[in-house]
Amino acid sequence: MISAVAETYHVHPQTLRLYERLGLLKPSRSDGNTRLYTDVDLERLEVILNLTRDLGVNLAGVEVILNMRDKMEKMQEEVEELVRYIREYVSSGDAVLGSVRNALVRVPASKIVRSGREQK
């Protein structure tokens, strides 16, 4: 509920509505159209308030910073997915290499016969 969040964070409800209009916050809505703030929404609000109150960043700057932060988080997820894929690929390659090694028969050098081609 907007009034509870406004009171908790010492901001005016209109400020929260402005953040929503600007796309900085995106709380979901109940069937009765009440704003529902998740923990993620509240963490984002804390970042916004830290940037504006403590660091003096204007709302345009906050938007840029939050967009960059979102992109960085998405890129981090993509990197983690790539690392998982590489690990799986390497593991499957290790399994193939292990089966090839098991299929090879060790022969002493004295038992190897040279072909006529190699002697030239």
Model confidence pLDDT, tens digit, residues 32-78: 999 999 999 999 999 999 999 999 999 999 999 999 999 999 999 99
Indicate whether 89 belongs to any domain.
Answer: no
Indicate whether 36 belongs to any domain.
Answer: yes
* pLDDT at residue 118, rounded to an integer: 59
Indicate whether 20 belongs to any domain.
Answer: yes
Indicate whether 114 belongs to any domain.
Answer: no
Domain containing residue 65: 2-75
Indicate whether 24 belongs to any domain.
Answer: yes
Q: How far apart are CA 93 and CA 72, in angstroms?
A: 31
Residues facing residue 28 across a β-bridge: 36
The number of folded domains in the chain is: 1
pTM (two decimals): 0.67
Indicate whether 99 belongs to any domain.
Answer: no
* Farthest-apart Cα atoms in the chain, separation: 92
Question: At how many degrees (to 10) do helices 13-21 and 39-49 cross?
Answer: 100
Indicate whether 25 belongs to any domain.
Answer: yes
CATH at residue 6:
1.10.1660.10
Indicate whether 34 belongs to any domain.
Answer: yes
107 pLDDT above the threshold of 80: no
* pLDDT at residue 119, rounded to an integer: 55
